[in-house]
Amino acid sequence: MARKKKTENSDNKKPVAENVVGLRAEITEQPIVDTLEVNYMPYAMSVIVSRAIPEIDGFKPSHRKLLYTMYKMGLLTGSRTKSANIVGSTMKLNPHGDAAIYDTMVRLSKGYGALLTPFVDSKGNFGKVYSRDMAYAASRYTEAKLSAICSELFRDIDKDTVDFADSYDGGMQEPSLLPTTFPNVLVSANLGIAVGMASNLCGFNLAEVCQATIEYLRDPQADLLSVMPAPDFPTGGEILYDRSEMEEIYRTGRGSFRVRAKWRYDKENNIIEIYEIPYTTTSEAIIDKVAELVKTGKVKEIADMRDETDLGGLKLAIDLKRGQDPDRVMQRLFRLTPLEDAFSCNFNVLIAGMPRVLGVPELLEEWVAWRSESVRRRTHYELTRKQERLHLLQGLGKILLDIDKAIAIIRETESDAEVVPNLMIGFGIDEVQAEFVADIRLRNINKEYILKQIKDTEQLEKDIADLEDILKKRSRVHTIIRQELEKVIKQYGAPRRTTLVYKDELVQEPEEESIPDYPVTVFLSRHGYLKKITAQSLRMSGEQKYKEDDGLLLSFEATNRSELLVFTDRCQVYKTRLSDFEDGRASALGTFLPTKLQMDEGENVITVLDPGEYRDSILFVFENGKAARVGLGAYATKTNRKKLTGAYSDKSPIAAILPFSGETQVVLYSTEGRALILNTAQLAEKATRDSQGVQAMTLKPKYRLQSAEKLEESRISNRARYTARNLPAAGALLKPEDTGETQLSMEGD
């Protein structure tokens, strides 16, 4: 039986494979960097530049293609047409399919309500931005046209105000940008996720944006917050306003602020009615979260919740149990549900094809520069047309001097091709003027017609001089932009929908008030199991249960609202609350803290303590003999549960962690059998958590500091022997009577 030979190429380096038709194909190696550069980078840049990030006109390419198609279909002034017709026509410019195009139309529509200033005047079911489940109807059932404000998007687009480019198949021309007469980049909310970057622009009130731009034109250092204090959302709600927070967003283009729902109380029916919700959530998400809180017992004041949204708008109804305070219930719901949510800003915009994160003044600067260029291009276009018209009328004016001569020249010319040259010679005019004269009909060769045509010459000369002056003076261009903005405010301006509530004026319900408070005893085992046992359960229980090789490490009294600091052997501390743990029993093992707090793999608990009001101190004792006194205030944070790294110094292994209040005496023990008593007053309190401390106990090279405890908890009777007046000190060797050990007696009764 013949064996099949392995096929190799001539240089024995590149293997050869056979394709499905038996032909030999070489497989070549290519460095991964080259592959990424050749294949991945063009894709990434295409997503960034041509799909996901908006440009200075405030639109992504998909928005621009749709609106321009509707403009060319005559839907700015005409009646509505089926959405399916619009989608089909847009596919000539947009290659991404009908579903993506219709999704874009829905988002821009008045019916969906995602934009404060919608650009599509819709009819039919377009869904709602505040509903996750309210789906929009198919494109064959809905109708649309352009909103009236779109006249400001396309104003003078046929006067060379913007560049045009070929469509994806080269069959049409489309605008690279739309010549918007107002800063739509700040008016229309936009969210885009590209490759390696994203953009999230919140919408602002149209009238406020235009007024802010006018103020910026007058003074680039103007206080924009005075006229445009905060974003505005189509879903309304309230912004928890912090001026310094908003100034940071305006300055950097990044940051976040909080938005919450608006509500009213129907006292007669004991019902809370929520009628405006944050832009970032949906009514279904709110109902689901409230239902979860009621089911788990975290919110017990609510009897029922339902969605009563109708043609009048959004309304979520919450039935309260008898005797409940609606203000307190809403404060809790704001804290625990999406009724209050954060909006993160990332003003990432394409400027000349490059993504840049800009603050509001920088965005206005870029828009003013771009709009100024559009006005100049329009002015230059109008100037050229008027100059051409003036040139023709000047030629016609020369004919007025001798109409009979013009007629004679035309009559006596033998060939048609010589008419224009003869007129040029006879009257001293150029070819363009002569062509214009030659094309005048016979019935119009009279003095009255010619006088009518040339009477505008003087006005044209004034207009040309005015247009040339505009091109020379930037101030005049800015005046034109300002006048256009004032017109937009007057014609399309509307009041704010989102109101501002200053944070310092809010009465926040303390979180602890919603947590039941009762005394508990905390038990921590050596392996990191924690039990929280109530006083009643502790009285009724027997011996504490632990694993076979485990046992009690410490116990202390606390309350259910107490916070806990959990220190580990990785120089980390975890913050949690006792209320996060279920009440336990002595017969149970308890909660395993490394799992509960999601500690790092192999991380172990050293100790747990109740920080109270973070006014006391902690003593860290290290094996190298050093001790550090750190104030508990260094561990205070605003969040209830958080991992803090650098909880203590990592220069030497930890020997003991002792919390204390006021001043106290502590006993240090070494492996040599020595003990040293020091007073915490001898140690200066450090402000930083990872302080190495000071040398407290001097140690011989082969020994280390082993443990530490408070003096009142020790068995030392001869305290003077071990007390150090100055630090560091070596301490004294322990005597048997100070170790608590007793010897057996041989005496009889």
> What is the 3-class SS of 373-385, one letter each residue?
HHHHHHHHHHHHH
Rounded Cα distance, 345 and 443, in Å: 68
Using the structure block, give the residue that is written with the tokens 């005047």.
121
To the nearest 10°, report the CA torsion of 413, 417, 422, 423. 110
Looking at residue 639, its pLDDT comes to: 53
Looking at residue 740, its pLDDT comes to: 66
Rounded Cα distance, 645 and 101, in Å: 49
Q: What is the DSSP letter of 612?
A: T
Residue-wise over 585-619: b if at least 16 C-beta within 10 A, else e? bbeebbbebbebbebeeebebbbbbbbeeeebbbb
Neighbours of 532 (CB within 10 A): 22
- Give the residue among 237, 187, 238, 183 at the shortest CA–CA distance from 213: 183
User: Which residues lie closer than 8 Å to 341 by C-beta, 6 or more apart?
Assistant: 258, 259, 260, 278, 280, 281
Cβ-contact 731, 676 below 8 angstroms:
yes
Q: How far is CA 287 from the centre of its chain?
A: 24
- For residue 449, what are its two tokens? 């017609």
Cβ-contact 569, 606 below 8 angstroms:
yes
The active-site residue, picked from 43, 141, 502, 518, is: 141
Residue 56, beta-bridge partner list: none
- Model pTM? 0.67
Rounded Cα distance, 468 and 320, in Å: 71
Cβ-contact 610, 558 below 8 angstroms:
yes
Looking at residue 510, its pLDDT comes to: 55
Q: Is 538 helix (H, G, I), strand (E, B) or coil?
A: helix
Looking at residue 749, its pLDDT comes to: 33
Rounded Cα distance, 503 and 121, in Å: 37
- For residue 87, what are its two tokens? 């989608």
Is residue 141 part of the annotated active site? The answer reads: yes
User: Which residues lie closer than 8 Å to 491 by C-beta, 6 or more apart?
Assistant: none
Residue-wise over 629-667: b if at least 16 C-beta within 10 A, else e? bbbbebbeeeeeeebbeebbbeebebbbbbbeeeeebbb
The dihedrals phi and psi of 81, each to the nearest 5 degrees, come to -135, 165
Cβ-contact 110, 120 below 8 angstroms:
yes
Helix axes of 360-400 and 447-454: crossing angle, nearest 10 degrees: 160
Residue 645, beta-bridge partner list: 572
To the nearest 10°, report the CA torsion of 101, 104, 108, 114. 150
Q: Is 411 helix (H, G, I), strand (E, B) or coil?
A: helix
Cβ-contact 645, 598 below 8 angstroms:
no
> What length does the chain have?
749
Cβ-contact 184, 196 below 8 angstroms:
no
Rounded Cα distance, 191 and 348, in Å: 10
- For residue 443, what are its two tokens? 């019935």
Looking at residue 183, its pLDDT comes to: 96
- For residue 708, what are its two tokens? 């530490």
Cβ-contact 247, 265 below 8 angstroms:
no
488-528 confidence digits (pLDDT tens): 999 999 999 999 998 766 755 555 555 777 899 999 999 99
Looking at residue 13, its pLDDT comes to: 46
Cβ-contact 359, 251 below 8 angstroms:
yes
Rounded Cα distance, 172 and 168, in Å: 8
Neighbours of 375 (CB within 10 A): 22
Looking at residue 544, its pLDDT comes to: 86
Rg (CA), the chain: 41
Q: Based on the number of CB atoms within 10 Å of its own CB, is 542 exposed (0-12), middle (13-18) or buried (19 or more)? A: exposed
Angle at 120 between CA 117 and CA 125, to 5 degrees: 110
Rounded Cα distance, 707 and 621, in Å: 8
Residue type at 681 in one-letter notation: A
Query: Between the CA of residue 145 and those of 108, 109, 386, what are the distances in Å?
Result: 11, 9, 34
- For residue 460, what are its two tokens? 């044209």
How much of the chain is in helix, strand and coil states, percent to nearest 5? 35, 25, 40
Q: What element of type H or E holds 522? A: strand 519-525
Q: Is the peptide bond before 728 cis (omega within 30 degrees of 0)?
A: yes
Cβ-contact 293, 140 below 8 angstroms:
no
Rounded Cα distance, 131 and 694, in Å: 62
Q: Which residues of the chain have pLDDT under 70?
A: 1-25, 49-50, 504-505, 507-514, 638-641, 740-749
Rounded Cα distance, 625 and 196, in Å: 50
Give DSSP secondary structure letters for 296-341.
HTS--SEEEEEE--BTTB--EEEEEPTT--HHHHHHHHHHHSTTEE
What domains does the chain contain, in order, with CATH numbers?
59-179 (3.90.199.10), 262-338 (3.30.1360.40), 365-492 (1.10.268.10), 511-737 (2.120.10.90)
